[in-house]
Homo-oligomer: A and B are copies of this chain.
């Protein structure tokens, strides 16, 4: 491979830059000449908005900072590549650019929608006898990519969620039962409850854990929810409940829609969800008279790299390295995957793109609204170890594009 290019797409994570670090590292080990970064994903690619990663990463201190920098260092996008039919010019333009810069392999770190881009480009290359290779690098805090045991970005988000919930539970336990507060914490996850399930990880010998966990994998029953609170308030002086932003009633209506009308729709046609916790907090306050508080982890759960899991950072680096290795072996239309023992491999992108992996129902203790041991055994290894941030003048330091 003479030159290669790497891009980032979709919602950022704490470790998406570690994937880039892995791609760069392996490429340099293999003697690749230029490692380009596309600024703002495929959208920037089409405008030839490139940087040369040597300008940043040949310096070892910067390399270490990149691993500690959240969000997309290269810039991200939510550009949905159109079907080939009727849009041939877009595809021709992409290969023109690749030829112009003598780029032999194209790496894209992203989630479901980004893997669809890899699928379409690799299919096009094969059908049109182009030599360029297209390889996906998994990235999503949502952990909803299939085949791979887990996704880089998920472990750090879990560590943030478990740590922050532990702190919230301590905070909420400050006051006597007469001042009982029901705290409802909203965690990202539209259809898959992986992130919300991570709330179970805060429970240990010095933390009682969350009192209930509601995932979008199961229909939400408002009566069951209110009855549960009614039971809990009789014995507890603090109630903390974790809910996924995407929980919905049996008829499919999102819980957040109980308080507000129509929801906006994003570029991929997904409804924008938020306000699930505040909707529930209002309902609880009204029905029970209890003091309530709604907390949303919002973007911090995907951006708090000061709490990155070292296991997750290593998975991100290793999957980036594996993607380059695969291209070097001539593989096209594959994604790097991570096995449960953290070893890495590759897999056909056609089995991955647009498939959403949900939390297995058998891992959910529906009766007690808790996660079963199977989930804890699955997720616990993903939050092990810390990559300590580098503080300067009291605040964490990042690497940013000039």
Does A93 lie at the interface of the complex (its beta carbon under 8 Å from any beta carbon of B)?
A: no
**Main SS of the interface on chain A?**
mixed
Number of A interface residues, CB 8 Å?
A: 63
Are B395 and A170 interface neighbours, CB within 8 A?
A: no
- Closest-by-CB residue of B relative to A16 is B174
Q: In the complex, are the beta carbons of B384 and A394 less than 8 A apart?
A: yes
- Distance in angstroms between the alpha carbons of A208 and B70 in the assembled complex: 15
- Write out the residue numbers on chain B whose beta carbons fall within 8 Å of the beta carbon of A391: 386
With a cutoff of 8 Å between Cβ atoms, the chain B residues found around residue A115 in the complex are none
Q: A170-213 toward B: CB 8 Å interface, digit per residue (1/0)?
A: 11111110010001000000000000000001101011000000
User: Given A207-B400, A299-B171, A394-B383: A306 and B75 within 8 A (CB)?
Assistant: no
Q: Is A279 interfacial (CB-CB < 8 Å)? A: no
Q: Give bound CA distance, A283 to B123, whole Å.
A: 45
Closest Cβ of chain B to A272, distance in Å, is: 9
- The yes or no answer to A398 lying at the interface (CB within 8 A) is yes
Closest to A385 in B: B394
Smallest CB gap from A47: residue in B: B176
Contact A12:B174 (CB < 8 A) given known A204-B392, A298-B293: yes
* A 298-331 binary contact with B (CB < 8 Å = 1; else 0): 1110111111010000000000000000000000
B175 and A303: CB pair below 8 A?
no
A71 within 8 A of B: yes
What 0/1 pattern do residues 68 to 99 of A give for CB contact below 8 A with B? 01111001111000000000000000000000
Stretch among A161-169, A219-227, A246-254, A359-367 lining the B interface: A161-169
| Chain copies in the assembled complex | 2
Q: Which residues of B contact A206 (CB under 8 A)?
A: 397-400
Specify which chain B residues have a CB less than 8 angstroms from the CB of A162 in the assembled complex.
Answer: 394-395
B303 with A168: CB separation less than 8 A? yes
Asked if residues B305 and A176 are in contact (CB atoms below 8 Å), the reply is no
Q: Which residues from chain B contact A299 at a C-beta distance below 8 Å?
A: 167-168, 171-172, 183, 293, 295
CA distance A43 to B72 in the complex (A): 50
Q: In the assembly, what is the distance between CA of A166 and CA of B303, in Å?
A: 9
Check: A107 CB closer than 8 A to any chain B CB. Answer: no
- Determine if A159 and B295 form an interchain contact, defined as CB atoms under 8 angstroms apart: no
B398 engages A170 (CB within 8 Å): yes
Sample (13) of A-B pairs whose CB atoms are under 8 Å apart: A12-B170, A43-B176, A70-B167, A77-B176, A163-B306, A167-B304, A167-B305, A183-B299, A295-B298, A295-B299, A306-B307, A385-B394, A388-B388
Residue ranges of A at the interface with B (Cβ–Cβ < 8 Å):
11-12, 40, 43-44, 69-72, 75-78, 159, 162-164, 166-168, 170-176, 179, 183, 201-202, 204, 206-207, 293, 295-296, 298-300, 302-307, 309, 380, 383-386, 388, 391-400
6 A-B pairs with the lowest CB-CB distances in the bound complex, closest first: A383-B394, A71-B170, A171-B303, A167-B303, A76-B174, A72-B174
